[in-house]
Amino acid sequence: MVPIFEQTSAGLRDWFVQSGLAAYRAGQVRKWLFQKRAAGFDEMTDLPVRLRERLAAEFQVWTTQVINHRESADGSEKLLLELGDDQRIECVLLRDDKEHCTACISTQVGCAMGCAFCATGIDGFVRNLTTGEIIEQMLQLQRLLGTAGSERVSHVVVMGMGEPLLNLDSLLPALASAADRDGLGIGARRITISTVGLPEGIRRLARENCQYHLAVSLHAANDSLRNEIVPANRGFGIATILAAADDYFEQTGRRVTFEYVLISGVNDRPEHAGELVKLLRGRPALVNLIPYNPVPGLPYRTPSSSVTARFVETLTQGGLNVNIRHRKGDRIAAACGQLRRGSRG
């Protein structure tokens, strides 16, 4: 059977037409899957019984299975999903309130970027996810919100396992379904793609005039240190990343966020803050500071609150716009790759 989430909205309509069925039925099916949170075709009660039976014979709804579900006191929930080939990925639901529920999703099994502090890359890269597997993460997380409709996924951040810009062919159709009216109905400006900063991928997003928010995981303001923290940087360097980010802003009008994970004794000293000011001053950018979320087996630690405060002060005094992302889900292994690695027996 064909996984139904591999079908675009237009593709599903074509199937109905080619099958001699009314095209509007495709919209009904997508509404049930994306908005009414149906678990299967049998729940689609405004479709004729014979049509539901035919759909069930032609299409598979779920190719992923929840094998671990963890909840945190701060409202965060994390799922470990098993794919059809027995590989495993993670996705996280982050709650700010009932109006703001964010799905943090993955794009690859593993990761080839090798960032020194990240659990995902420890075991290397396995494969890209399909469009359907990316969509299913959003819907599996939305199912955690129940069926009453009082809560819904309002934002999507693509900053789970993997490097999103290496899987744009699968990711962009999935995000289109997230943004579509007959999909999740999430505006493009509420969707964030986080990348280590692959220039060619950034330029592709700019060429296609994507209105998604772009977040570049910088983590260092000079190539020497960044080469150690983010080995992929050796292939292009910070200057090339910034040029691509500037192009993205110029083409889309969307301000770029530069993420900076603060790691104790590695990139959190006053001179590092000063370098970051010199690098980004004058750019229409936001710096998103993230205190490191420790990973078992790795030597890195979270900086003290006083060190973090001093770093922020240097940036703000230097004229940068700064936001501190407070960590969520510490007790449910919410950092990328932790739950997947811990599930091995």
Angle at 340 between CA 335 and CA 342, to 5 degrees: 90
**Region 56-76 average pLDDT:** 95
90 counts as catalytic? yes
Of 138, 187, 128, the residue nearest 163 (C-alpha) = 128
Decide if 2-60 and 65-342 have a common fold: no
> 155, 191 in Cβ contact below 8 A?
yes
Q: Alpha carbon of 86 to those of 6, 78, 104, 119, 332: distances in Å? A: 19, 18, 21, 19, 22
The residue assigned the tokens 């019984």 is 49
**Would you call 173 exposed, middle or buried from its count of C-beta atoms within 10 A (0-12, 13-18, 19+)?**
buried
Amino acid at 198: L
336 counts as catalytic? yes
pLDDT(342) > 60? no
Q: So what's the pLDDT on residue 331?
A: 53
Amino acid at 212: Y
Residue 151: both structure tokens together: 């809560």
Instruction: State the alpha helices, DSSP H only, in the chain.
Output: 9-18, 24-30, 49-58, 131-143, 168-179, 199-207, 223-229, 238-252, 270-280, 305-317, 338-342
Predicted TM-score (pTM) of the model is: 0.92
Of 102, 62, 104, 61, the residue nearest 82 (C-alpha) = 62
Residue-wise pLDDT for 238-275, tens only, equals 999 999 999 999 999 999 999 999 999 999 999 999 99
- In this prediction, residue 59 has a pLDDT band, given cuts at 50, 70 and 90, of very high
Q: Which of 6, 77, 90, 163 is catalytic?
A: 90
> 336, 217 in Cβ contact below 8 A?
no
Say which range, 81-90, 142-151, 201-210, has the weakest mean pLDDT: 142-151
Q: So what's the pLDDT on residue 325?
A: 84
CATH 3.20.20.70 fits 65-342, yes or no: yes
Q: Which of 91, 111, 118, 336 is catalytic?
A: 336
CATH 3.40.50.300 fits 2-60, yes or no: no
Say which range, 178-182, 266-270, 311-315, 325-329, has the weakest mean pLDDT: 325-329
Q: So what's the pLDDT on residue 330?
A: 55
Q: So what's the pLDDT on residue 345?
A: 42
Of 125, 185, 129, 123, the residue nearest 158 (C-alpha) = 129
**Region 144-173 average pLDDT:** 90
The residue assigned the tokens 């099916």 is 29
DSSP 162: S
Of 116, 206, 105, 191, the residue nearest 154 (C-alpha) = 191
Q: Where are the domains of the chain?
A: 2-60, 65-342
Q: What mean pLDDT is reported for the chain?
A: 93
